[in-house]
Amino acid sequence: MGELVRVEHLKKYFSTPGGMLHAVDDVTFTINEGETLGVVGESGCGKSTLGRVVLKLLEPTGGRISFEGKDITDISENDSLELRKQMQIIFQDPYSSLNPRLCVSELIADPLKVFKLYNKADRQKKVYELMDLVGLARRFAFSYPHELDGGRRQRIGVARALSLSPKFIVCDEPVSALDVSIQAQILNLLQDLQQQQGLTYIFVTHDLSVVKHISTDILVMYIGVMVEKSPSKELFNKPLHPYTKGLLSAIPVPSIDHEKRQVELMGELSSPIEPKDECRFLARCQYATDQCRSQAPTYDEVMPNHFVSCHNVRQINGL
137 binds another protein (CB under 8 A): no
- Nearest distance in Å: CB 263, another protein: 5
- Interacting stretch for another protein, rule CB under 8 A, among 47-55, 56-64, 119-127, 175-183? 175-183
Whole-angstrom distance, CA of residue 303 vs CA of residue 95: 42
- Interacting stretch for another protein, rule CB under 8 A, among 116-124, 158-166, 259-267, 290-298? 259-267
Chosen residue from 61, 86, 194, 249 binding another protein by CB under 8 A: 249
Chosen residue from 71, 74, 147, 149 binding another protein by CB under 8 A: 149
Whole-angstrom distance, CA of residue 156 vs CA of residue 130: 9
Whole-angstrom distance, CA of residue 85 vs CA of residue 75: 15
221 binds another protein (CB under 8 A): no
- Interacting stretch for another protein, rule CB under 8 A, among 73-81, 137-145, 255-263, 295-303? 255-263
236 binds another protein (CB under 8 A): yes
- Nearest distance in Å: CB 265, another protein: 4
260 binds another protein (CB under 8 A): yes
255 binds another protein (CB under 8 A): yes
Cβ nearer to another protein, comparing 42 with 110: 42
The amino acid sitting at 8 is E
Q: What's the burial of 265, exposed, middle or buried (CB within 10 Å: 0-12/13-18/19+)?
A: middle
Torsion (CA) 238, 244, 249, 252 in degrees, nearest 10: -110
114 binds another protein (CB under 8 A): no
245 binds another protein (CB under 8 A): no
Q: Are 313 and 242 in contact (CB under 8 A)?
A: no
Chosen residue from 102, 248, 273, 288 binding another protein by CB under 8 A: 248
252 binds another protein (CB under 8 A): yes
Which residues in this chain contact another protein in the complex, by CB under 8 A? 42-43, 149-152, 179-185, 187-188, 191, 206, 208-210, 212-213, 233, 236, 246-256, 258, 260-261, 263, 265-266, 268
